[in-house]
A and B are shown apart, each in its own frame.
Chain A
Amino acid sequence: NAGVTQTPKFQVLKTGQSMTLQCAQDMNHNSMYWYRQDPGMGLRLIYYSASEGTTDKGEVPNGYNVSRLNKREFSLRLESAAPSQTSVYFCASSATGAGLGYTFGSGTRLTVV
């Protein structure tokens, strides 16, 4: 099925470890996004990529880096994980900007101990 695929679905990290969350879409969308979801906070934008070759910071970029590898793939890296980064991470994509809404992946549940 067409859509946004995130890997892994679950991950437990120790404080200070690094990891990369992977996201790929097969809808030929130009724009891709990383959000984190925390209870009572809704979804907060970490980074986004309006088009291949560009990335920009969102509301909560500290502690994260991103790479838009090609039009399909947008990865999120935690260089030195902290317990405050325990969250559910969602990748999303949209055709042109976000005017038609996002398509979200099913999320990665990350726990940092």
Chain B
Amino acid sequence: SQQGEEDPQALSIQEGENATMNCSYKTSINNLQWYRQNSGRGLVHLILIRSNEREKHSGRLRVTLDTSKKSSSLLITASRAADTASYFCATDTNAGNMLTFGGGTRLMVKP
């Protein structure tokens, strides 16, 4: 089974609304990262949060991490149609330099 599991699998919202995606994982981590994938493109790194951090911001992105619950959330505020993409969480378990990716959340932002 996957280390990271995103929830929900798909999310549809109106432009201007906030979008929240969740990620749960199973084993201890060094850091957790979020990536975005536009249709037909490769994944692009958005933000990294270390295991000793609880919250991190980058522009309209806010990431939280709760290591006691082994979960993270990605909040996109004031969403735009251009935010339409799939979003993946990835965990670094210190097993070499590997990242383990979840199944992704497909976000659709309607104009």
- A and B from one complex: no
**B residues at A contact (CB < 8 Å):** none
Residues of A within 8 A of B (CB): none
